[in-house]
Amino acid sequence: MKIRAARCWMEKLPLRRPYTIAYMTTSDTEIVFLELELQNGIRGLGAANPFEEVVGETSSDTLLHLQSGFIDELVGRDIRDFNKIIDEAYKNFPNLPGTIAAIDIAVHDAFGKLMGITVLDYYGQQIAPLETSVTIGIKGMQETLAEAMEYFKMGFRVLKVKTGLDVEEDIDRVIKIREAIGKHIVLRVDANQGYSLGELKIFLDSTAGTQIDVIEQPLLVGKEMQLRLLPESVRKILVADESLCGVEDAIELCSEPKPFGIFNIKLMKCGGIRAAREIGMLAKQAGIDLFWGCNDESIVSITAALHAAMSCSNTRYLDLDGSFDLSRDLVESGFVVKDGFLLPIGKPGLGF
């Protein structure tokens, strides 16, 4: 079945509430959408929102690249050759994971709809559904506790707290959340490169009784090998995020002694579903667990990440809350949230 038409565009979407991480505050997001229409009327949809600070690509860059002529040349191509199309995207857009991700997701969605199967069924489901974490940005103590309780009352039992501006304040926020909600939640921390090795040790020692589940990217990119000085028991709960973009990073981080015991895979860092699964397989061979993250994203790419995550047997953690705070989205469904669990809806393609 051939592609009949293709179009791309950008939507600027305010967030329901701004949030702060260690190096920036965000109040809105720009998402690029790509739609491929087949000769029989089936439409596949992709979306991208790359994070410039991590991959060097903006949503405006993504839109410009998709409008450069490559997408027009997809008209007349057979969607059953979707893997070849992805290969060509890598050749045309090297080191531009947002651009590749939009293409990758759109062709996966269209192919699955044509075949009448979900993307997850195509690759094979390997794990049971998991709870996603929801994220609390860096903010004052009362706001932090109020937001934590709000999520708890909504049924979420995994909270991720952004840290990295002030280690003493971070320690206090984590301790107070645990005291306020008790053992009823799983508590995760994302430092977004905000600590030195010494500050990380202080944080670890001071929060030892809070039962932190994982800690994402505590040190600056380029400093991660310092983590090898820590005991293996500590490194096992550390998550590579900004240090891990593509397959080459994964190969380096799999070498012994491994600085991280967990890989955070984001489709916007690596270039979509196929590359994400390649990183997942490398991690499995190295005994590394998978943590699936996101930016502020549409249901389109969050659903794609969910299908990829559930097709990898070493997936242990989901942090796919990126569509929750959008003021609006262009699609519905894709997945449902039940008691904090993300459940694919089982319709062909990605289901929206």
pLDDT tens-digit series, residues 62-96: 999 999 999 999 999 999 999 999 999 999 999 99
pLDDT of residue 332: 87
Torsion angle, CA of 253/256/261/262, rounded to 10 degrees?
20
Domain annotation covers residue 349: no
Q: Are 238 and 330 contained in the same domain?
A: yes
**Can you tell me whether residue 34 is helix, strand or coil?**
strand
Q: Are 66 and 132 contained in the same domain?
A: no
Domain annotation covers residue 234: yes
Q: Are 224 and 250 contained in the same domain?
A: yes
User: Rounded distance, CA 276 to CA 119, Å?
Assistant: 14
Q: Are 88 and 234 contained in the same domain?
A: no
Q: Are 83 and 132 contained in the same domain?
A: no
CATH number at residue 164: 3.20.20.120
Gyration radius of the chain's alpha carbons: 20
Q: Are 109 and 142 contained in the same domain?
A: no
Q: Are 233 and 280 contained in the same domain?
A: yes
Domain annotation covers residue 153: yes
Q: Are 144 and 181 contained in the same domain?
A: yes
Q: Are 134 and 77 contained in the same domain?
A: no
Domain annotation covers residue 236: yes
Domain annotation covers residue 350: no
Ranges of the chain whose pLDDT falls below 50: none
pLDDT of residue 334: 94
Total tally of structural domains belonging to the chain = 2
User: Rounded distance, CA 126 to CA 288, Å?
Assistant: 16
Structural domain for 283, as ranges: 121-344
Q: Are 102 and 135 contained in the same domain?
A: no
